[in-house]
Amino acid sequence: MPLSPVDICNIALSRVGVKSRIASLDERSEEARLCNLNYETVLESLLESSSWPFATTRADLVLFESAPNLDWGYRYYLPQDCVRAQYIDVGGRYPSPLVDPSMRSGFSSIAMRVPFKIEATTDGQGKTLLTDQSPATLCYTTRAVPAGLYPAFFSKALSWALAAEIAFPLTAMKPELVDMIYRAYTMALASARSLALNEGQSDPEQDSEFVTSRY
């Protein structure tokens, strides 16, 4: 069943033993105030923590400037909804402009990723991506996914993460109980990452030249 931010907050409240529920993040209650204060920060931190398939998208980057320094060939604007830059997409499942297509057998996609670096804009008003690739398409984690589209495993991890943030200020729990909630969150996060790996099927591993030459 799709969950709203309020649903996730109410689950988090139940995890810390609070019986009251909120109807809105803007209502005048201490529970709503703490949930509203922490929800977006906790969500963004969780999105940053892994390359979640459900929140992965691509965008053609807009050029900021060419030859920005002696290290990189191009500087691009980073999409405003980008939480985590994953890799530069250059086409194919084994992307690399530096490897001839006939030589791709035996290379892993990780080994052929295009180098890049994230830096602040020169005016300090945002973030840019530096790379030698032109044009550049970025595969990244977006924050623009509605809560109703979160997989159940992500919503579960998010509710535990939020519970860990609000437990002590809301209930003055003993430190050991807060630690227990945090341990539950780390277990939920590990489970979510494991389940996320099942959201797709990778290509089979390529045999090395040494192996194929034996046949």
pLDDT digits (tens, 9 = 90+) for 4-13: 999 999 999 9
Residue whose pair of structure tokens reads 């030249």 in the numeric block: 209
Say how far apart CA 138 and CA 117 lie, in whole Å. Answer: 12
pLDDT of residue 75: 93
Phi, psi of 205 (to 5 degrees): -60, 135
Q: Which residues of 198-211 are buried (b: 16+ CB within 10 A; e: fewer)?
A: eeeeeeeeeeeeee
In this predicted structure, the answer to whether residue 40 has a pLDDT above a threshold of 80 is yes
pLDDT of residue 95: 44
**Average pLDDT of the residues in 56-79:** 92
In this predicted structure, the answer to whether residue 107 has a pLDDT above a threshold of 60 is no
Q: Are strands 63-66 and 116-120 parallel, antiparallel or unpaired?
A: unpaired
Query: Which residue, 128, 134, 100, is CA-closest to 114?
Result: 134
Higher pLDDT, 141 or 104: 141
The per-residue pLDDT for range 76-100, each reduced to its tens digit, is: 999 999 999 999 988 765 544 443 3
pLDDT of residue 9: 97
Domain ranges for the chain:
5-50+145-196, 54-143
Question: In the chain, what percentage of residues exceed pLDDT 90?
Answer: 64
Say how far apart CA 76 and CA 151 lie, in whole Å. Answer: 31
Residue 12, judged by CB atoms within 10 A of its CB (0-12, 13-18, 19+), counts as buried
pLDDT of residue 112: 60
